Structure 1
Amino acid sequence: MNLFKRNKKDENTDEFHKEYGVISNCRYILGKFVKYRKSLILFIITGSIAAASMTYLWSFIGKLVIDMIEQQASSPDKDIKPLLYLTLITSAAELLFMWLNTVSSMKMSVGFTYVRLMIIKERIAKTLGMEYEALETPEMLDRLQKAKRATAGDWQGVQGMMTYMQVMGVQIISVTIAVAIMTTFNPWIILIIVVLSFAQFLFFDYIRKKDKKEMWDAMMPHWRKLEYMENVTTDFSYAKDIRLFGMQKYLAKKQIDVYDEELRHWIKSRQYWVYNTIFAHGISLLRQLIIIGWLVYSVVFNGLSIGNFTLYTASAAAFSNAINEILQALSALRERSAHTDDYRSFMDIPSADDKAQTIPIPPADKYTFEFKNVSFKYRGQEKYALKNVNLTLHAGEKLAVVGLNGAGKSTFIKLLLRLYDVTEGCILMNGTDIRKFDRKEYYELFAPAFQDVMVFAFPVAENVSMKEPFNTDKAEAEKMLRLAGLGDKLDKLEKGVDTELLKVLYDDGVDLSGGEKQKLALARALYKKSKIIVLDEPTAALDALAEFRLYQSFNELVGDRTAVYISHRLSSTRFCDRVAMFKDGEMVEIGTHDSLMEADGAYADMFRVQAQYYVEDKDIFDVPCQEVTSNG
């Protein structure tokens, strides 16, 4: 049995999972100590020596005291001063070791937690930097879930590795001292203790493997379900639907079902550990009988002194305990090492950008994008979401992308923004395939506003700038908010742009309505001042007339920048240069509003159906016609 490697037969076939091994993971943890808190190494050494010394201190003193008492009993001159001096010195040593152990333990506890938090910070940074597409797959979500569990607690995963490395240090010193003592009595006792302890460990390791396979590994998808159910039942954004549709009992039943599944696994897990406890007690009893019997025999027949009997009895017990602790700590290290493997495997997943040799985006005043025979389908799907799209977005152009829900509009935008890479064909920017550019640098070209507006528990100004407070221009943020139509709302807020949003972190936090959130998204797009603005149905919460008027004013604010407007409503098409019409994943029409109306195709049909919603303002239909593009 290899104590430093796991059985690969028990592992899944995840292409990104790696076996680093206990030794490699210990070096990894030590590297984190050096990186984040070097003093931990000193405290581990000091604490280990102090803890091991405390274990044997009174064993030695007990022997010396008994020998001194026997000597005094047979001597005509009684003098207890040596005994008092020995007691005082031992007490002082005990206090010193206790102080060193206590201080070291406190420093290690705080230090281990700090290092774990820094490792969590690394994991969060990795997650935030991963490709958008990767985080949508169940396989990647499972890898992320495992990495999160590896950093979830004091005794699990990476911090468990830290703790058991220190435990190993204490027990190795304890074993060294015990072996030195026990070899002066009988080396066979050492061998017997080691054999029995190893048998106990083998059974413990068998139970651990069974428990990991049938509890922890089997429960990984379940914990993702449990996390989802807990989020749904506690997330305020679900609260209205849950109450108005009377979903309380239904959701409670689903959550109980999830807990019942977990309970069944926990019951089986506890049964395994009951078996381990029974076996461990049996081995411990047998070991004690052998040790005590041998020592009693040595006292009666071999003249072993009472002092040495006391020393060897205590040392044998400490040695047995140390051997058990080492083997179980090693097993625990292997288990925590498995969790650390999960964490490191996640952290070492290469991104597409890591593999590619990217080039910097050449400085330019204008950017033109060309879709050349672009097709795309989502992972695991047979049907194409977009098929054979050919389109050129000219610098400074206003393009409307329209179509019914599910036509492929948002997929088109995700490809333009490079949230996904194309399945077939290519997208060129000023003649260069966008996959050759650094993804983060490419993102800087765009200022998007999406339909699902995410509001963060930050002040209003930071929700506009999407940057740290010291990088936020509050005056500019307020200006953009007023231009986006939130001036009246700001005037009602006592703290203005310093008002905290959401009540998650602050009791006086403010919640925005759906329409207000979408205006906030528009303000973000204006604040960023990127060369290309993308509006992916950000006004869906507004009525048709309000949407048209907002688009019209927003179009004036955009100026000569490139803008793409996406909607299944057509309020944006009249002031755009072109309109692209998408249907069932294909671009079926492209041209100006007038030319598409004259063609009397899908766009004209859709426009006539929606025209009734704009009759309150006949001027809408008198806006100078430019070109409109529909994309779904």
Structure 2
Amino acid sequence: MESESKYPIFKTIEKMLANVKQQNKALYIWLTVYTIAAAIYPFFGIVLPKLLIGELVLGDLANVKTVVTIIVGYLILASIVGFIKSYTSNCAYPRITRLRIDYIGEIFDKIVSADYQYMEDSTFFNKNERALEATSSNNNGVEGVYHKMFEIPAVMISVLVLVVVIGMVNPLILLGLIVNLFVTIYISRNVHKHEYKRKEQLAKADRKKRYYYQTTHDFSYGKDIRLYGLSGRILSNYNKEISGYIAVKNQIFNREYALGYIGLLTLLLSDALTYGILIKKVVDGMSIADFSMYLAAVVSLSVMLKSFSEQISFIINETHYVYDFYNFLDRDLGAKGGENKAIKDDTLEIEFDNVSFKYPNTDQYIIKNLNFKINKGERLAIVGVNGAGKSTIVKLMIGLFDVTEGEIRINQIPIKLFDKKELYDMFAVVFQDINVLAFTVNENVACTSEGIDDARVEKALDRVGLTEKIGELPKGREQMMLKIIEADGTEFSGGQSQKLAIARALYKDSAMVIMDEPTAALDALAEAEIYENFSELVKGKTAVYISHRLASTK
């Protein structure tokens, strides 16, 4: 965590403004017009009482026309300026929201391009949670700061004009208001520091409670939750995380309430000083009309200073989270690798040379001094009990994990010399955890929406025995999968989903095929069919078959 003293607030704001200039320069036009209108608007309410009282105290019926003219003029001018103020803010705010949405897109790009090792690192997801916090609301984080930055120039102009006007009456009034301003800022900063120190706790608790919430809304968990009575356990864990989250929040709120009394006291003292000075001015000869104007000016300035202090405090506080967001984006999370292109051979040779591996931030080796070689065109079965590290070997082989010690070579070239994306292109893998996407069948097989080779998709589906099933779908291969996005999406059984994953690997047509427990969800007949056709499915390629059952490798 960055220390409070090193927090680069101005650098963060500069970066946010640079993003506006790059993404939506029109916001600066709306800001200029809004600032002028919003700076003028408060003065209508300050000047009007003076003009009306000045005419009414004369007690002359002839002044009725003047009073009416003042009121009508006020209504017209205030309506015009108020309309401009509202219109410009309404035009600007959707553009600010778009900036936040673009930021979310940047987080998405960062995550999907991050090296796979981070996908199994809880620390990474805690940092991601904090980055998302800066983009998850219209009122806080990135968008909230942009709103305040949009509003604050008008407040500053109005404050400066009122400071000059009131200072001409008695500078002591300003002293009371300024003391109250700094007390308000101090309270806000103190509360925020207290909250920011606990952001790790909040992010971790928020991630956990979101997991439990999403689990109850995930169709795939529905049967197990009901049949095994898991709802009580899930609810208990959810409530535990909620209680911890609320306990931390209560600490923050209690501190805010306690310090709030200090702010209230300084406000009361400031008001007492203001009224005392103005009443003395009336005694010394100030007109009632002037008294009403200066009183309205002081009240307006007090409100504006409070608003100004809240806006400044908000910007300082929330840019902490924006800074976390930029920090996350600036982290070097990309897959580490060399510059070598993918090998274009039809088959590959893989060699593990004294390979050892342990997960980041752990001391226990999952694999120790592993040596083996797969020759070109060879088919190898890796058999072992559950948890023996079979899937870890696959992840090392295809470059998802980097070895801790030793070396892996592909066609005698060290794997670390390959560009990671080029490396991934050399492998077609069917993992035991099947992920069907809410895309069409075609897109699930081809993993793209453009340039799909229909003949290759059809052939891949036929080779895994899904042709008949696809033919029964209302839209055939254009049928959407899952119901999470489209109500008429189709849900495949576990076995059908596994076949779809195998079809995806066949369509990719890479030099090496790896099947990690590919028949785990298949029925006996479908499993036998895959076994019998395995040689045909991987014909001409180097292949690795992972299983925990020795019989399945015969």
Q: Normalising by structure 1, report the TM-score.
A: 0.82
Matched, 1:40 2:40: no
Aligned residue number for residue 124 of structure 1: 108
SS at match of 1:505: coil
Aligned residue number for residue 39 of structure 2: 52
- Asked if the contact 2:31–2:150 (Cα under 8 Å) also holds between the matched residues in 1, the reply is yes
Shift in CA distance, 30/227, structure 1 to aligned 2, threshold 3 Å: same
Instruction: Give the Cα separation in 1 of the matches to 2:251 and 2:387.
Output: 46
Instruction: Give the Cα separation in 2 of the matches to 1:66 and 1:282.
Output: 33
Matched, 1:488 2:468: yes
Gapped runs of 5+ residues in structure 1?
10-18, 575-632
Aligned residue number for residue 345 of structure 1: 327
Instruction: Give the Cα separation in 1 of the matches to 2:162 and 2:25.
Output: 31
Matched, 1:95 2:95: no
Cα RMSD between the aligned structures? 2.5
Instruction: Give the Cα separation in 1 of the matches to 2:322 and 2:269.
Output: 36
Shift in CA distance, 6/347, structure 1 to aligned 2, threshold 3 Å: closer
Aligned residue number for residue 158 of structure 1: 142
Q: Given residue 406 of structure 1, which amino acid in structure 2 is its aligned partner?
A: G
Instruction: Give the Cα separation in 2 of the matches to 1:7 and 1:410.
Output: 40
Q: 1:307 aligns with which of 289, 294, 299?
A: 289
Aligned residue number for residue 8 of structure 1: 4
Q: Given residue 360 of structure 2, which amino acid in structure 1 is its aligned partner?
A: R
Q: Given residue 339 of structure 2, which amino acid in structure 1 is its aligned partner?
A: T
Aligned residue number for residue 421 of structure 1: 402
Shift of 1:132: 1.0
Instruction: Give the Cα separation in 1 of the matches to 2:363 and 2:62.
Output: 97
Instruction: Give the Cα separation in 2 of the matches to 1:449 and 1:124.
Output: 24
Shift of 1:130: 0.6
Shift of 1:376: 0.9
- Asked if the contact 2:179–2:266 (Cα under 8 Å) also holds between the matched residues in 1, the reply is no
Shift of 1:491: 2.4
Shift of 1:178: 0.9
Matched, 1:24 2:8: no
Q: Which moved more, 1:140-149 or 1:226-235?
A: 226-235
- Asked if the contact 1:201–1:324 (Cα under 8 Å) also holds between the matched residues in 2, the reply is no
Matches within 5 A, 1:221-236: 221-236=204-219
| Percent of matched pairs sharing the same residue | 33
SS at match of 2:116: coil
Instruction: Give the Cα separation in 2 of the matches to 1:353 and 1:113.
Output: 31
Matches within 5 A, 1:569-588: 569-570=549-550, 573-574=553-554
Shift of 1:194: 0.6
Aligned residue number for residue 625 of structure 1: none
- Asked if the contact 1:6–1:334 (Cα under 8 Å) also holds between the matched residues in 2, the reply is no
Which protein is bigger by CA-based radius of gyration? Answer: 1
CA deviations over 1:218-252 (Å, ceiling 9, x no partner): 32221121112112222121111111111222322
Aligned residue number for residue 134 of structure 1: 118
Shift of 1:324: 2.0
Aligned residue number for residue 312 of structure 2: 330
SS at match of 2:434: coil
Q: Given residue 378 of structure 2, which amino acid in structure 1 is its aligned partner?
A: E
Q: Given residue 332 of structure 1, which amino acid in structure 2 is its aligned partner?
A: F
Q: Given residue 280 of structure 1, which amino acid in structure 2 is its aligned partner?
A: G
Matched, 1:442 2:423: yes
SS at match of 1:372: strand
Matched, 1:202 2:186: yes
Instruction: Give the Cα separation in 2 of the matches to 1:96 and 1:475.
Output: 65
Q: Given residue 44 of structure 2, which amino acid in structure 1 is its aligned partner?
A: L
Instruction: Give the Cα separation in 1 of the matches to 2:173 and 2:130.
Output: 44
SS at match of 1:380: coil
Instruction: Give the Cα separation in 1 of the matches to 2:460 and 2:7.
Output: 51
Shift of 1:365: 5.3
Aligned residue number for residue 509 of structure 2: 529
Gapped runs of 5+ residues in structure 2?
none
Aligned residue number for residue 458 of structure 1: 439
Aligned residue number for residue 591 of structure 1: none
Shift in CA distance, 242/117, structure 1 to aligned 2, threshold 3 Å: same
- Asked if the contact 1:63–1:310 (Cα under 8 Å) also holds between the matched residues in 2, the reply is yes
- Asked if the contact 1:45–1:169 (Cα under 8 Å) also holds between the matched residues in 2, the reply is no
Q: Given residue 56 of structure 1, which amino acid in structure 2 is its aligned partner?
A: F
- Asked if the contact 2:55–2:63 (Cα under 8 Å) also holds between the matched residues in 1, the reply is no
Instruction: Give the Cα separation in 1 of the matches to 2:213 and 2:523.
Output: 34
Shift of 1:254: 2.2
Q: Given residue 245 of structure 1, which amino acid in structure 2 is its aligned partner?
A: Y
SS at match of 2:41: helix
SS at match of 1:184: helix
